[in-house]
Structure 1
């Protein structure tokens, strides 16, 4: 079996969505004092590579521990969308040819290459998916999509005002689906339609969880 890790390392001070809790790690027990080591971890539910449950943007939506795990392990389709600039919008016409034969239950991952900017201010100015893509995927029976960006929707900056608009989240999570964010290393998946595993922690009643996303070639 060939494995490719698609997850960002979780470490203190890593980049998070603006306003989310910072990631911090520290020793709670050490060998000199205690004879063993235990680390204390502080982070938000959407730190690093993670999955959004419906509860993230849907009032009363299902929490992450209620997601059917079979949706997060299965065949994936990587959609290559190169050459994008800051805030560019990916429309259905740009990806239609790569998705016309997609089957229900497939996990669709968008490879923009933007993960190379992770940890820099430019990462916040990522390309976004037009909500029409979510509509086409949902109509085809796709319930999970992933991106190698911070967000499939636009991430606000200092000039943003008013309520946060999340049309892709509204469509996918509103239908009971899930979204995987902050993927990386998609370029290393060199075979078609890999098997993907992106399992969350069983965090009872919460809105999301970090995942260890792995692409597999059986």
Structure 2
């Protein structure tokens, strides 16, 4: 389980010669870091907030980030599992016509799974960016830079995951699914850029 490794061990595996972990797991890790940092800042703000409504909002966001952090952490391993399933599908026998048909069906199924793993990360990370912005609105000068770091990590997760999704679906035979996932992935990237830019513009005001 990659999520059980130390940071140093994970980095060494990522830098290694094996095919995984790679961009999918790294993007999920980036999203998990964004959630962790946002959770931390929200808790800090809540502990100093005298307004009960504002405090409750930060506590709710903290809980959401905690749940997302756990989900993104699981995605680090899910991406590798999906790759391994695809690799196994390519190793299936193709001696008979039935073998070839079963192999092809399993490959297509595994490709879609491999594409959806990072797609899910991108989708969740885009939604997370809205909560990061809400935390920024209550952050002080000492913590706003941490909020920006969280937003940048989230944006990186969206871009990386979306690009990986678009790359994985190239082998799908269903053109309808390819078109749909490509459009949604492009939309995620545009939204992520807009949300990060909105935060930076808001800070400069």
TM-score by length of 2: 0.33
The structure with the largest alpha-carbon Rg is: 2
More helix by share: 2
More strand by share: 1
Q: Does 1 or 2 have the higher relative contact order (CA < 8 Å, sep 6+)? A: 1
TM-score by length of 1: 0.31
